[in-house]
Structure 1
Amino acid sequence: MANEAMTAQMRDGKGFIAALDQSGGSTPKALKLYGIEESEYSSDAEMFDHIHAMRTRIVRSPAFSGDKVIGAILFEDTMNREIGGMSSAQYLWQERGVVPFLKVDKGLEAAADGVKLMKPIPGLDDLLEKAVGHGIFGTKMRSVIDAADRKGIAEIVAQQFKIGAQILGHGLMPILEPEVTITIDDKGEAEGILREEIEKNLEQLGADEQVMLKLSLPTSDDFYRPLIEHPKVLRVVALSGGYSREEANALLAKNPGLIASFSRALTEGLSAQQSDEEFDARLAEAIDSIYTASIT
């Protein structure tokens, strides 16, 4: 079964997860970094056409394959479109050997108790059913920690696990992403509280249930080892969180067992104006460096 093969790849595969899920307010910034100015499109539809063309170029590049990129996270609009005459998720798995995930959150609430919880996700069950129909393996949802506030962090982790249970109910693998902002003064303390709260919630999962975790690169090397080795965790991945690719790779390499799930750090240096030869070479260089850091 495809799902069993995908699970095995997520558990044992050497490589990293590409985060190709910029959406809404983050898309103009991603396009600008890619060399497409806001003046070049006049509607959301045109904007998403541009971002889909960018993602298609990445996914169809010879460098982008399951040998090094074991998974990719998509935005809903990307899932609904085609690549190479196939649905995007099917193309990823069948043609590239890359496990497809879907971003399902709808953005963040206003800050309270040092955190930004996820906004409600209306129609989530319908979206999850649709994802299953497209051949999606799992989901990703992000919330943000801005301070070492135990009440806020406990609430953010509880929310992630509650919605994660709903996702598990559809046979999908949830990636829980309680991101710790890398610039806060009490980052290390916040990570300590976060790890404790995650461990508490993991114990509430069913005997056969697992989740994945997407966490900021930790202040202390190998800090998330207990989570990486936890039987209820399929894989722990790291976001680049504002670090350059070079910085993120250096930090990642100090955390054996933690693999990348980079977005901006993956596409850094890519441009719409590059020839296919130059684009593919730049992407291959990025993929090789992130892969090496992920398997160190």
Structure 2
Amino acid sequence: MKKVNIEDFKVTGPIKLDGTRNDWDLGVSEKKLEDHLENTRKELGKLQDKLYAHGKYGVLVCLQGMDTAGKDSLIREVFKDFNARGVVVHSFKTPTALEKRHDYLWRHYIALPERGKFGVFNRTHYENVLVTRVHPEYILGENLPNVNSLEDIDTEFWDKRFQQINDFEKTIQQNGTIIFKFFLNISKDEQKDRQLRRLDKPEKNWKFSPGDLDERELWEDYRKCYEDAINRTSKPHAPWYIIPSDDKETARVIVAEIMLQELKKYKDIKEPELDDDIKAKISEYRERLKND
């Protein structure tokens, strides 16, 4: 299998989404991709055990993408071999009445992973500069001071919101959260095929909503907002990775490989050593247990 080179996917400068790829060939069969993913996720699971014992870092995995991009299945397949207590998934839907009574980042703050665990955001705080930017009328429901009409949601408003998101990520990174941000990049044709499969398969019907077709008509608007958000918020401490996702198996392998390669760079993540006094008496403790 071709090596996954992180730099092929990391956003380190201004990008145009129309110039990015939504397909990628790792040079092996689907079966070998599945085998490689299994090995990689087992390594990630062992690393999470070490992360827990070390107790100084949490890992935040942010997944964004157009409808049908494959977020749910990626979560299921990539984190399958983790200790169930070591990973917590949050799927952010329309804000609740309680959430609207706080600032828009509140519900994301309280869902952050504790030290030693992975937290996965299925849709993220970026919805607040994506969906709300395509549908600015949603902002009025936040009941913000000095925002009384759509005219108040201007360029300055979005500039401030991007700065708030950058500050949020910088703060949590400085306090021990390792951040991964993945944009699952599918083509419009692939989205159409996946939406048709939802309609054709009874077990997938529940995922379909007529509103999905309305949102599809806003494809270009969403792409422009994604492009702007990625360019404004891909930082060295919290970079974006654009993942070619027309093939789900390939996308999963790339995401898992990026996480594993990056986390291996943290040489300080290791199990704590036993106290010298305890270590010196291990033979004694072993004998006590044997004779119990």
Instruction: Normalising by structure 1, report the TM-score.
Output: 0.31
The answer to which structure has the higher strand fraction is 1
| Largest Rg, 1 or 2 | 2
